[in-house]
Amino acid sequence: MQEIGQDPEMRAQLGATNPRMTVRGLSLWYGAKQALKDVSFDLHQREVLAFIGPSGCGKSTALKCLNRMHDGVRGVRIDGEIRFDGSEIYNDATDPPVYRRRFGWVAQKPNPFPWSIYENIAYGARIHGLAAGKAALDDHVEDCLRRAMLWEEVKESLHAKTGLDLSGGQQQRLCIARALGTQPDVLLMDEPTGSIDPIATARVEELMVDLGRTHSVVVITHSMMQARRVADRVAHFHMGELVAIGTTKEIFTNPQDKRTMDFITGAVG
């Protein structure tokens, strides 16, 4: 049998029956301004789902709904339903900090803690009680750095260097290692290569594809080339609406909506 991860069509099919998350009729207002309009989609168990669309169309807003990042923000009103493994996430029984541990967040600008490389990862594992004792914690830190394809470059300087002593691309891989440190199910990445150079971008893209074999990964990108390279499926947003979602091949070779056609043919990069 062909392995999951080799064939995007097959992976999209396999994930479809048992989604990690389901979003239905999601609308969001910032005060009087409606930023999301009746958005519905599934996030599969193991896939890379790319959000594309012009600036201001609601990509980051939608991403933040998934891990309840809008909680407590004044003036934000949310309507609709989001389920994680079948359970509604916006209810009283869900404890937001506990819920958020299922997610790793990677921002556009690498933002490591100004602590040692080791401590960048150990901190989250420690506060969540994920590794008991020094040996287990050492192993956990190594695992995360290996998974983030950074171990070989930093193994001699885990305690001697801080996160800020690394190059921009290394910092971003450290942030991904840190995100993996709390053993999340879902990785949310908001333009993760938006501020790093092309060689570093290639490494992070390789890492995204690898993580999509084991995690649900949602990545926002302004690069159509990047979406084509890393995504199993693509969701196209336009003025707060999700106008198209499908396999990367479907969206780029046979878009059904004229707005999607216009966007992918007009977008540069």
- Rounded to whole angstroms, how far apart are CA atoms 156 and 161? 9
- Per CB under 6 A, does 77 bind ligand ATP? no
CB of 257 to ligand ATP, least distance (A): 17
Q: CB-wise, 29 or 252, nearer to ligand ATP?
A: 29
Among 27, 60, 157, 183, binds Mg ion (CB under 5 A): 60
7-45: burial string, b at 16+ Cβ within 10 Å, e else = ebeebbeebeeebbbbbeebebbeeeebbbbebebbbbb
CB of 26 to Mg ion, least distance (A): 16
Q: CB-wise, 120 or 172, nearer to ligand ATP?
A: 172
Among 15, 19, 49, 61, binds ligand ATP (CB under 6 A): 61
Sequence-separated (6 or more) residues with CB below 8 Å from residue 129:
none
Query: Per CB under 6 A, which region of 59-67, 112-120, 122-130, 252-260 contacts ligand ATP?
Result: 59-67
- Per CB under 6 A, does 59 bind ligand ATP? yes
CB of 26 to ligand ATP, least distance (A): 12
Query: Per CB under 5 A, which region of 60-68, 83-91, 148-156, 195-203 contacts Mg ion?
Result: 60-68
Tokens 């990108």 sit on residue = 221
Tokens 């070989």 sit on residue = 152
Window 18-57: residues binding ligand ATP (CB under 6 A): 30, 33, 35, 53, 55-57
What residue 35 binds from Mg ion, ligand ATP, none (CB within 5 to 8 A, per partner kind)? Answer: ligand ATP
Helices (H) and strands (E) counted in the chain, each on its own, are 11, 10
- Rounded to whole angstroms, how far apart are CA atoms 232 and 248? 6
Total number of residues shown for the chain: 269
CB of 223 to ligand ATP, least distance (A): 12
- Residue 187: exposure state from Cβ atoms within 10 A (0-12, 13-18, ≥19): buried
Q: CB-wise, 60 or 183, nearer to Mg ion?
A: 60
- Rounded to whole angstroms, how far apart are CA atoms 176 and 231? 17
- Per CB under 6 A, does 69 bind ligand ATP? no
- Rounded to whole angstroms, how far apart are CA atoms 172 and 109? 8
Furthest-apart CA pair in the chain: how many Å? Answer: 57
> What residues line the site for Mg ion (CB under 5 A)?
60
> What residues line the site for ligand ATP (CB under 6 A)?
30, 33, 35, 53, 55-61
